[in-house]
Amino acid sequence: MNFSVSAPGKMILIGEYAVLEGADALVAAVDRRSVVTFGTQPDANTILLSSPQMHIIDLPCIRTRQGHIRFDPALEAQTRHKMNFIALLLKAALDELQVPLEKPCGGWMASFNTDAFYVPGQPVKLGFGSSASLTVALIAGLGKLFKKDLPANDLFNISLRVHHAAQGRSGSGIDVAACSHGGVLQYNFARSEKEITGRIKSIKMPDDLEIAVVYTGHSASTRDMVSGFYELKELQPDLFNSTLSAMINCSGRAVGFFGANQTDQFMNEVDSFYQLAEQLSRNSALPVISPAHQAIYAIARKHSCFYKPSGAGGGDIGTIFYRKGQEVRPLFKELTSLNFPPLPAAIAESGVICHF
């Protein structure tokens, strides 16, 4: 049986970094989708993996009796490195789905497509959460392949653990929540030594709020930024505690205003959150607010709109907030002229979609 599974990307509306310390945050799923296509093949002991984007077609691997994904030992190092993340995802996913180790695990193939998450024609990520989206799509597809029923909450919880393990136990899982459920979500999480738990609540956009996505012109590593955040916690605890406390409170107020349909108050908190992120950048070595973000912010405010990075900052994308009916064409024209183009990205109301 051949079928494909797609999952949306994400755009964090407010709460970056604060969510790592227990704050409520807001995230929206966006209609840029990763797609994993599954099919059958005759060798019951082998799995074939493809990634056209990485120029890898039908790369054979096996699942060992210890549960590891093993490629041909003669496989060149560069290809092995490219496929390492997918191998980590696959191992953790098969473990979570409790696919028996004693039985052959092959006889199928999977092809991965995350083109929608990259600058067209370039190996440059935009910042819509490709790894989380790919994780969710892969696990949803494996659930169907191995006849495991995965309601949205189960899909989220499994994907959260798998993504967390593959990413070196960093991050909050807010991107996984958006990719699993779709729509706009209120999110927070808790972490212990042994597990991570995310709490999700669907929330409605204020009636007169509009959002747009802008690309800064370069990508940034979320993992590196989050690592820098935790280094800051150790090296400058006073700055960390004072600024993060203010960010947590700001994000909490913003979530409340958002849910109460109070657009002006919400956008004012967005502006306060940007100022706190800039303060964090200015007083530390954590470059959340890059020069590109500063430039976009200034232009947005000139046109009576609000702006903040979406995600860990440093680059990637940012979100512009404005009122429905507000004239924003001059803003978008100016941003485009300065190589900060608005990107097509609408809210995806659906999470995983299967095509047979």
Would you mind telling me the total number of residues written for the chain in this entry?
Answer: 356
Q: H or E stretch including 317?
A: strand 317-323
Candidates 71, 55, 63; CA nearest to 90 is 63
Quote the pLDDT of residue 47: 97
Q: Give the pLDDT confidence score for residue 205 in this predicted structure.
A: 96
Strand 209-215, strand 184-191: pairing: unpaired
pTM for this entry: 0.94
Identify whether the C-beta of residue 94 lies closer than 8 Å to the C-beta of residue 105. yes
- The first and second tokens of residue 307, run together, are 């702006």
Task: Supply the pLDDT for residue 281.
Answer: 87
With a cut of 50, which residues of the chain have pLDDT below it?
none
Question: Domains (ranges, CATH) in the chain?
Answer: 3-203+348-355 (3.30.230.10), 209-343 (3.30.70.890)
pLDDT digits (tens, 9 = 90+) for 185-228: 999 998 877 788 999 999 999 999 999 999 998 888 887 888 88
Residue with tokens 């995350």: 114
The 10s digit of each residue's pLDDT in 159-187 is 999 998 888 777 899 999 999 999 999 99
247/266 Cα distance (integer angstroms): 14
Instruction: Identify whether the C-beta of residue 133 lies closer than 8 Å to the C-beta of residue 29.
Output: no
Query: Which of these, 12, 304, 340, lies nearest to 171 by C-alpha position?
Result: 12
Per-position DSSP letters for 190-228, written without gaps between them? EE-SS-EEEEEEE-PPPTTEEEEEEE-SS---HHHHHHH
Which residues contact residue 7 at a Cβ distance below 8 angstroms, ignoring those fewer than 6 apart? 33, 34, 133, 134, 136, 137, 140, 179, 180, 351, 352, 353
SS3 content of the chain, % helix, strand, coil (to 5): 40, 25, 35
Query: Phi/psi at 8 (nearest 5 deg)?
Result: -75, 170
Burial class of residue 190 in the structure, from the number of CB atoms within 10 Å of its CB (0-12 exposed, 13-18 middle, 19+ buried): exposed
What pLDDT was estimated at residue 230?
Answer: 81
What are 72-94's pLDDT values in tens digits? Answer: 999 999 999 889 999 999 999 99
Would you state the pLDDT for residue 225?
A: 85
- Contact 177/132 with Cβ under 8 angstroms? no
**pLDDT at residue 139 in the model:** 96
Phi/psi for 192 (5° steps) reads -120, -175
Provide the token pair at 108: 């199928």
- Give residue 327's pLDDT: 97
Query: Alpha-carbon distance 178 to 334, whole Å?
Result: 31
